[in-house]
Structure 1
Amino acid sequence: MNLDEAIQAHADWKKKFRVAIHKQETMDTSTIAKDDCCVLGKWLHAEAKSLYADIESYPVLVSHHKTFHAEAGKVASLVNTKKYAEAELALDAHTPYGVASQAVGQAIYRLRKEAGL
């Protein structure tokens, strides 16, 4: 698992939301809201679980990742209901989405450090 790519993929969601807002596109809210559909989520719920479950940072990352996708799903719902201004505001740093985005990135770094990846 390339954790640098995972960090970038989750950071890229903000860009995807902004494109969807600008183009007024519909997003797949149910998939976005699930924490086991992205590459990182699949890895966390399978291979990483068997390898790193005993490392302190593993359950922290799983929790932050789940929260991130729940918040991302909320932003996607705002986009889908054409609440574009609210969706844009929801992307700010101190919103639940912004906090969750930062937390998942930090949790990935922590697992990488503790697991020696």
Structure 2
Amino acid sequence: MGFFSRLFQPRADGAPPPEDWTSLPEGQASELVLFDEEAHRLVAQFDIDAAIVTHERWLPWLGEVLRGARDERLRPEVVAEDTCSELGQWLHGSGRAALGHFPAFDMLMRRHRYFHQQAAALIAHAEAGENPQAEQAFKSCQHAPRQVVLLLKELQRGLVRKQRAAGRLQ
């Protein structure tokens, strides 16, 4: 059982997940469980592989900004909004509707939002010629996209396992 799969368990008490994204749910955690129709709908709505590939491209783009490249599409005020990406739109829309009840979903949302905030700070500092601050912002945002990708991959593994199990039952 993977580390992140243990996080995709609904809370038994129905309470919202803790603000501290680093904590695990209390008690025995189990694999991600989605109802068959929910899993199929989620896979049909959103290409997790494409989201992973797109999200992994952010760090090289930001590395170029750190080295002095300017891209008009990477404006700090736009990048700061975590809904500016396809992943962010899905997380705030149908992803929340399908998975918002899992504690790890909120962790995914927070890590995604944090990444966008740090990326926007990097761009703003780089544009202002504040290289030490830009480098610090780059260091701060390097870990968050990896966590987002790990959470997405774990989500994908859980969905694939659920689809396989549903196929065996038919």
Alignment TM-score, normalising by the size of structure 1? 0.80
Q: Distance in 2 between matches of 1:96 and 1:20?
A: 15
Give runs of aligned pairs for residues 1-117 of structure 1, distance below 5 A.
1-22=46-67, 24-25=69-70, 27-84=74-131, 86-88=133-135, 90-91=137-138, 95-114=139-158, 116=159
Identity %: 21
Q: Distance in 1 between matches of 2:157 and 2:109?
A: 16
Change (3 A) 1:88 1:105: same
Query: Is the partner of 1:54 in helix, strand or coil?
Result: coil
Determine which structure has the larger helix proportion and give its number: 1
Count of residues paired in the alignment: 113
**Contiguous gaps of at least 5 residues in structure 2:** 1-45, 161-170
Q: Distance in 2 between matches of 1:97 and 1:109?
A: 19
Q: Give deviations 1:15-73, integer Å, cap 9, x for gaps.
A: 21233344542540011111111000000101111111122321111111111111111
Q: Give deviations 1:64-105, integer Å, cap 9, x for gaps.
A: 1111111111111122112346535643xxx32112122211
Q: Distance in 1 between matches of 2:75 and 2:146?
A: 22
Alignment TM-score, normalising by the size of structure 2? 0.58
